[in-house]
Amino acid sequence: MSTTNIQLDRQGRLMHFLTVEGLSRRHLTEILDTAESLRGVAERRVKKLPTLHGKTVVNLFFEASTRTRTTFELAAKRLSADVLTLNIANSSTVKGESLLDTLRNIEAMQCDMFVVRHEQSGAAEFIARHVRPHIAVLNAGDGRHAHPTQAMLDVFTIRRHKPDFPNLQVALVGDILHSRVARSLIHALNILGTGDIRVIAPRTLLPAYVENLGVRVFHNPAEGLRDVDVVVMLRLQKERMEGALLPTEREFFQRYGLTEERLALAKPDAIVMHPGPINRGVEIDSRVADGPRSVILEQVTNGIAARMAIMSITLGNHARPTGGKA
Amino acid sequence: MRDAEFLIEAMAVQLRELLARRGIAEPALVGIHTGGVWIAERLRQRLGIITPPGRLDISFYRDDFSRIGVNPQVRPSELPFDVDGRHLVLVDDVLYTGRTIRAALNELFDYGRPASVLLAVLVDRGGRELPIEANVAGSRLELPADQHIQLTGPEPLQLLLQTAP
């Protein structure tokens, strides 16, 4: 996919945020630094900045989501934008006329940003190719392809605990095959120069040629989790399962679920992450999910700051200079 | 190039007198990134203020977002004290159009309701576009628009005066 071309302008500035692929470390670091500056806003009396005052953000959710939708809404509101969320059920295909019609109608409402979630890979890019030039498009998850804002909030959370990416061991465990979160996170970790990225999964839940993503593959958690700094558990995508890739959830938990015993293999100060919503007792034991090394709820908090950063950077890059002194 | 410490001493003298006149014993200083933060720390030492200075990065409050976007070098704002009911001294290096100070005031009030806010600047160079004036200024001069004045630091603090090409 040639998404990289469309999300950057000729000066290499981020105009849309569709995928982490093809971005440079400078792009990612700018997002992370901006998110760091925005994180404190939530602790103030007025949890709001005037930055996007007068802008209109439209959340186009063709696929159900609670956490992603609400954190995008909050992020836009904390930047003073007006927000409209459309939950569009029964979406037709990306190529269908109805999507373009929807787009034209919403464009006619003078909005400045689309946040798109769609079950089809490439939907956000399709929209970015067809919107009017002043509109920024953010990908809030497209099929199995990418979930770049989740990847950014994940690396943001990792950096706040363990900023030395070249000396970091990160393990992603579980359903890599169906996970756009895993794909985007692996790209982001590679761009930031992460020393060792591991995926731990049964063969049936790994995409073909997964090694080409720049990861080391393990099928046994007892080997893969040894001495890691970060454990990222992935949600078992039950709704995406086509056919029986797994015997039972119970067996999955026995072989791959993160328990305190397995976590003991990691470094003593390892952190545990999960993009949510968690399946307790399927991919993660409650004692780990609620335990002292879990940063799962911190990820939610950081998600707002990361999305605020991406919104303000992409909309800011659509700014048009008109002269005048600072 | 000029030594800025001399001007900071002038600021300290004026500020000490102003605070005494107003009966303010322990104000909190708030420096505006980046130069204002350096100056606020030096003023704090000279005035014997105990409260650590706050720092504001007003990037998200600028009035020209739709022209220039977000400053990629933005840093977190940090006010390590309760703003409510507090007497504050906002500190910046150069006062020019007044737009930065307007943005800083807006940001301050999102932290709470201060008892009062004073403005102390190293150089007031004229050229105001808003009704904002400094209570304390190390130096006041009228510079033409093509002149650029900038504080470099933190060690040593020096004022650079440049003419736009």
Dump pLDDT digits (tens) for A222-247.
999 999 999 999 998 776 555 666 76
Average pLDDT value for residue range B39-66: 96
A152 and A269 within one domain:
yes
Cα first-last separation, chain B: 18
Mean pLDDT over A8-26 rounds to: 96
* CATH number for A271: 3.40.50.1370
**Domain with B159 in it: what CATH number?**
3.40.50.2020
Q: Is the pTM of this model over 0.80?
A: yes
User: Number of folded domains in chain B?
Assistant: 1
Lowest mean pLDDT among A99-103, A203-207, A227-231: A99-103
User: How confident is the model over A255-280, as a mean pLDDT?
Assistant: 96
Starting at the earlier edge strand, list the strands of the sheet with A82-87.
A82-87, A56-61, A113-118, A136-142
Residue A80 located in a structural domain: yes
* Interface residue ranges in chain B relative to chain A, Cβ cutoff 8 Å: 57, 59-61, 64-70, 72-78, 96-97, 99, 106, 109-112, 127, 145
- Tell me what the mean pLDDT of segment B40-69 comes to: 95
Nearest by CB to B67, from A38, A46, A319: name it.
A319
pLDDT of A176 reads 94
Is the pLDDT at A323 greater than 60? The verdict is: no
Interface test with A, best of B55, B60, B74, B130 (most A CBs within 10 A): B60
The confidence score (pLDDT) of residue A3 equals: 47
Within-domain flag for B42: yes
CA A232 – CA A185 distance, rounded (Å): 10
Chain A positions touching B65 (Cβ under 8 A) are: 51-52, 312, 316, 319
Which of B57, B65, B125 should be substituted to probe chain A, the one whose Cβ sees the most A Cβ atoms within 10 Å?
B65
Q: Do the Cβ atoms of A50 and B97 come within 8 Å?
A: no
* Percent of chain B residues past pLDDT 70, beyond the cut: 99
Helix (H, G, I), strand (E, B) or coil at A138: strand
pLDDT > 90: what percent of chain B? 93
The whole-number pLDDT of residue A240 equals 55
Average pLDDT over residues A122-129: 95
pLDDT for position A322: 60
Q: What six digits make up the tokens of A10?
A: 């000729």
Percent of chain A with pLDDT over 70: 91
Say whether pLDDT at A145 is over 50.
yes
What is the maximum alpha-carbon separation in chain B? 47
Task: Calculate ∠ Cα A255-A256-A262, nearest 5°.
Answer: 100
Q: What's the pLDDT tens digit per position in A28-73? A: 999 999 999 999 999 999 999 999 999 999 999 998 888 899 999 9
* Mean pLDDT of the residues in chain B: 95
| Residue range(s) defining the domain that contains residue A222 | 148-295
pLDDT in tens, A149-182: 999 999 999 999 999 999 999 999 999 999 999 9
* B61: chain A residues, CB-CB within 8 Å: 49-51
Which residue range forms the structural domain that includes residue B10? Answer: 2-62+80-163
Domain count, chain A: 2
- Chain A and chain B share a number of CB contacts under 8 A equal to 75
- Closest partner CB to B65 (pick from A46, A316, A326): A316
B117 membership: H or E segment, kind and range: strand B116-124
Q: Looking at beta carbons, which residues of chain A come within 8 Å of B99?
A: 326
Rounded Cα gap, residues A183 and A188, in angstroms: 9
- A51 vs B contacts (CB less than 8 Å): 60-61, 65, 70
User: Which pLDDT band, with edges at 50, 70 and 90, does A114 fall under?
Assistant: very high
CB B67 within 8 A of CB B125: no
**Cα–Cα distance for residue pair A286/A276, rounded to 1 Å:** 13
Q: Which of chain A's residues have a Cβ under 8 Å away from the Cβ of B72?
A: 30, 33-34, 313
Q: Which residue of A has its CA nearest to B145?
A: A325
Is a pLDDT exceeding 60 seen at residue A93? no
Q: Provide mean pLDDT across the span B59-66.
A: 93
Has residue A322 been placed in a domain? Answer: no
Name the residue with tokens 């029964």. A90
Looking at residue B60, the DSSP 8-state letter turns out to be: G
| Radius of gyration (C-alpha) of chain A in whole angstroms | 20
Same domain, A212 and A288: yes
For residues B92 and B98, the answer to whether their CB atoms sit within 8 Å is no
* DSSP per-residue codes, A115-157: EEEESSTTHHHHHHHHS-TT-EEEEEEETTTB-HHHHHHHHHH
CB contact under 8 Å between A319 and B97, yes or no, is no
Tally DSSP H helices, then E strands, for chain B: 4, 8
Average pLDDT, chain A: 92
Instruction: Say whether both A262 and A137 belong to one domain.
Output: no
Q: Chain A residues within 8 A (CB-CB) of chain B?
A: 30, 33-34, 36-40, 44-46, 48-52, 79, 312-313, 315-322, 324-326
> What is the complex's ipTM, to 2 decimals?
0.91
Residue A98 is predicted with a pLDDT of 75
What is the per-residue pLDDT for A243? 61
Q: What is d(CA B141, CA B130) in angstroms, rounded to the nearest whole number?
A: 17
The answer as to whether A10 is a domain residue is yes
Residues A205 and A100 in one domain: no
- Please indicate, yes or no, whether residues A127 and A252 belong to a single structural domain of this protein: no
Question: What is the predicted pLDDT for the residue at A326?
Answer: 47
Return the H-helix or E-strand segment holding B118.
strand B116-124
